[in-house]
Amino acid sequence: MKCIVPDTSAVIIGAVSELIENGDFDYPEIIVPEAVVCELEHQANANRAEGRKGLEELKKLQEMQEDGELAISFKGKRPTNYDIRYAKSGEIDSIIRDLARSEFATLLTNDKVQAEVAKAQGIPVHYFKQTYTEIPLSIERLFDSETMSVHLKEHVAPMAKKGTPGHIEFVKLENKPYSYSQLSDIVEEILEKAKNDPKTYLESDMEGSFVVQSREYRISIAYPPFAEALEITAVKPVANISLDEYNLSDKLLERIRTSAEGILISGSPGAGKSTFVQAIAKYYSSKLNKIVKTMESPRDLQLPDEITQYAPLEGSMENTADVLLLVRPDYTIYDELRKNTDFNIFADMRLAGVGMIGVVHATRPIDAIQRIASRVELGVIPSIVDTSIYIENGKVTSVYETKMTVKVPTGMKEADLARPVIEVRDFETGELKNEIYTYGEQTIVMDMNLVNGTSTGEKQKSSVDIIAEAEILRKIKRILPKKAKVEVEVISPDRANIYIPDQYVPKIIGKNGKRIAEIERDIGISLGVEIIDEKPVDKTPFEIDITHTRKQMILELGRENGRQNFDILIDGEYLLTATTSKKGEIKIKNGIELSDIILDAIEMGLEITAVRKQ
């Protein structure tokens, strides 16, 4: 082999220099294709380790030429835009093979497919098979049995999260910060292992970011321009427990075993969702003899070999779902549900008859159901999600079940307001926790603890009242001119008043009352129409009464002055502008500067008056 044409893979791994140093070649002629230089230049510009390693190898070959060990030249055409676009289809590899053929040279490659194609075309080829020795990653030494994650960043001391879900500490591992070169070496080591280790996968490769799954370690790498500095985050599960250790009730275990087909597992980051998912997956697979698959990106769940873990097929979970429907698993774990497409795929697979277990980030037990309720038709929610399990501090703290019924939503009274309602109940106690229903054009997820409002001396509006007022106001404003003054007040669970100027009353009522009847039917509540008096504004100052409570000072302007804007004056000097309540009151909290000024004015005997604004 006197004349050698190495391809990009051979240059990157240093195959030429290694063969010459081992004495396999005696002063060979090395012809480096311009296509290889082009690829290396592109990779180096993208801050890829392969590009830098390849260029270092070419520099080393130049030094070896100066020492009289070889002759090196650069030949061939540079790839066109077409060649680059279809590089994955073999266009650049074809350019390199054509050069080897025209120069009557031996092709040197580390690419098995490239070697087989060259043999098929009658081109002399030397396949350089790189030996791989299983060596633990250097970042692994920073982990111990209690370490959940390690955080490395240039010019920052290495940090780690230690403990168990719910009991986590953020600790410093070393006092000396890591340099950029140290982190670069770690990155190259990780990427090199992803190429050679069958249990290490490059899950994501984007401009500024890599995600690698190396056995139980999920490693995220961020570098400029995506991040302002090079950063490495490695995460490892610290717990691997069985479902029995969660001490679930017999009732819940029976549901998981027999009737739970659409399960959402939710909790905040670090709460222990993945650990519980692993436990339930092993339970289905080993104890119940079910076929279990997963859909993950990245594939970081630690599961037995019987459970196959699928990544996005050609970058799409939709393609993965299509394959899984052909595989026909009993249960599929979807980790994690974040985007609209994730929820849609989860719903489609569940409605196709596949048992689904979804993992969702949430801060309250109802949040997981609420997130899917905003993305699918209301009536199919119980068919998609029948059980929601909330994890906190590594324990199951809440379990909800969903059922469809037809009823008058809580907070409404008239029988003709009945509609389909999804009831969300505590699985263990049967207590009604939430109701999901449509109200006008909105999907409402109502917390039963808030339906009746709270009381602090004066009855406050409930959540139902606030939503009802907003929906009625929106519909009324569609009918009236933009500048028309409109107010809405819910006075009881089954009635609300609309306050409008006299000239707009016929427009709201409509012919024979048809328009207001249509609004009442859409809103689900009866409406009364009251006239707002639009007389010329009286700007004559008048005195006001002031009373005190333990928490606030109340300026009383009279019920006839309710819902209007006033300037408050002290001895003719402006103090503030405020809007009165329905009862004609302005409330000021005790202890703030405004209340202190008014108290001083009262002690000094100054006149406190109000003037109505336009």
| Eight-class DSSP state of 364 | S
Q: Strand 125-127 and strand 106-109: pairing?
A: parallel
- Judge whether 134 and 197 are in contact, CB under 8 Å: yes
Task: Say what the pLDDT of residue 194 is.
Answer: 84
- Judge whether 529 and 472 are in contact, CB under 8 Å: no
**Look-up of token digits 């029948």:** 386
Percent of the chain exceeding pLDDT 70 equals 94
C-alpha R_g of the chain: 36
- Judge whether 172 and 159 are in contact, CB under 8 Å: yes
How far apart are the C-alpha atoms of 363 and 378, rounded to whole Å? Answer: 22
Task: Say what the pLDDT of residue 455 is.
Answer: 37
How far apart are the C-alpha atoms of 526 and 415, rounded to whole Å? Answer: 12
Please say if the pLDDT value at position 349 is more than 90.
yes
Please say if the pLDDT value at position 454 is more than 60.
no
362-383: pLDDT as tens digits: 888 898 898 888 788 888 899 9
Strands, DSSP E only, in 14-115? 29-33, 71-75, 106-109
Please say if the pLDDT value at position 512 is more than 50.
yes
Task: Say what the pLDDT of residue 601 is.
Answer: 86
59-91: pLDDT as tens digits: 999 999 998 888 999 999 888 877 777 777 788
- CB count within 10 Å of CB 251 equals 10
434-444: pLDDT as tens digits: 888 887 777 88
Task: Say what the pLDDT of residue 133 is.
Answer: 67
Task: Say what the pLDDT of residue 450 is.
Answer: 65
The least confident of 274-278, 413-417, 520-524, 544-548 is 413-417
533-561: pLDDT as tens digits: 655 556 678 888 888 887 888 999 888 88
The residue among 322, 325, 326, 296 whose CA lies nearest residue 308 is: 296
The residue among 216, 211, 215 whose CA lies nearest residue 200 is: 215
How far apart are the C-alpha atoms of 55 and 60, rounded to whole Å? Answer: 9
The least confident of 350-359, 410-419, 540-549 is 410-419
Mean pLDDT of 500-520: 84
**Look-up of token digits 């111990």:** 144
The residue among 72, 45, 46, 43 whose CA lies nearest residue 59 is: 72
Residues 6+ apart with CB under 8 A from 454: 460
Structure tokens, 447: 């917390």
Task: Say what the pLDDT of residue 457 is.
Answer: 39
- Grade residue 456 by pLDDT with cuts at 50, 70 and 90: very low
Mean pLDDT of 394-412: 87
Task: Say what the pLDDT of residue 272 is.
Answer: 85
164-207: pLDDT as tens digits: 766 788 899 999 999 998 998 899 889 888 877 878 888 888 88
- Grade residue 262 by pLDDT with cuts at 50, 70 and 90: very high
The residue among 7, 136, 179 whose CA lies nearest residue 76 is: 7
Task: Say what the pLDDT of residue 463 is.
Answer: 61
Please say if the pLDDT value at position 264 is more than 50.
yes
- Judge whether 290 and 331 are in contact, CB under 8 Å: yes
How far apart are the C-alpha atoms of 501 and 515, rounded to whole Å? Answer: 17
- Judge whether 296 and 273 are in contact, CB under 8 Å: no
Percent of the chain exceeding pLDDT 90 equals 34
Structure tokens, 432: 């009604």
The residue among 591, 593, 606 whose CA lies nearest residue 544 is: 606
301-345: pLDDT as tens digits: 888 889 999 989 988 999 999 999 999 899 999 988 988 899 999
Task: Say what the pLDDT of residue 458 is.
Answer: 43
Please say if the pLDDT value at position 483 is more than 80.
no
- Grade residue 146 by pLDDT with cuts at 50, 70 and 90: confident
Please say if the pLDDT value at position 390 is more than 90.
yes
How far apart are the C-alpha atoms of 235 and 289, rounded to whole Å? Answer: 30
- Judge whether 173 and 158 are in contact, CB under 8 Å: yes
The SS3 call for residue 114 is helix
222-259: pLDDT as tens digits: 988 889 999 999 998 776 788 888 889 999 999 999 98
- Judge whether 187 and 232 are in contact, CB under 8 Å: yes
How far apart are the C-alpha atoms of 256 and 108, rounded to whole Å? Answer: 57
The least confident of 121-125, 136-140, 185-189, 194-198 is 194-198
The residue among 62, 40, 64, 38 whose CA lies nearest residue 50 is: 40
Residues 6+ apart with CB under 8 A from 601: 570, 571, 608
Task: Say what the pLDDT of residue 116 is.
Answer: 94
**Look-up of token digits 């809007």:** 579
The SS3 call for residue 216 is coil
- CA angle, residues 95, 101, 105, in degrees to nearest 5: 110
Mean pLDDT of 597-614: 84
How far apart are the C-alpha atoms of 208 and 427, rounded to whole Å? Answer: 45
214-224: pLDDT as tens digits: 888 889 999 88
- CA angle, residues 116, 122, 125, in degrees to nearest 5: 55
- Give residue 52's identity as a one-letter amino acid code: R
Helices within 352-411 (DSSP H only): 367-373, 381-384
579-600: pLDDT as tens digits: 888 888 898 888 888 888 888 8
How far apart are the C-alpha atoms of 333 and 189, rounded to whole Å? Answer: 31
Task: Say what the pLDDT of residue 358 is.
Answer: 94
Average pLDDT, the chain: 86
The SS3 call for residue 541 is coil
Helices within 103-160 (DSSP H only): 112-120
Task: Say what the pLDDT of residue 462 is.
Answer: 62
Please say if the pLDDT value at position 263 is more than 50.
yes
The SS3 call for residue 49 is helix
Please say if the pLDDT value at position 417 is more than 90.
no
How far apart are the C-alpha atoms of 556 and 547, rounded to whole Å? Answer: 8
Task: Say what the pLDDT of residue 574 is.
Answer: 83
Residues 6+ apart with CB under 8 A from 89: none
The residue among 81, 89, 85, 37 whose CA lies nearest residue 62 is: 37
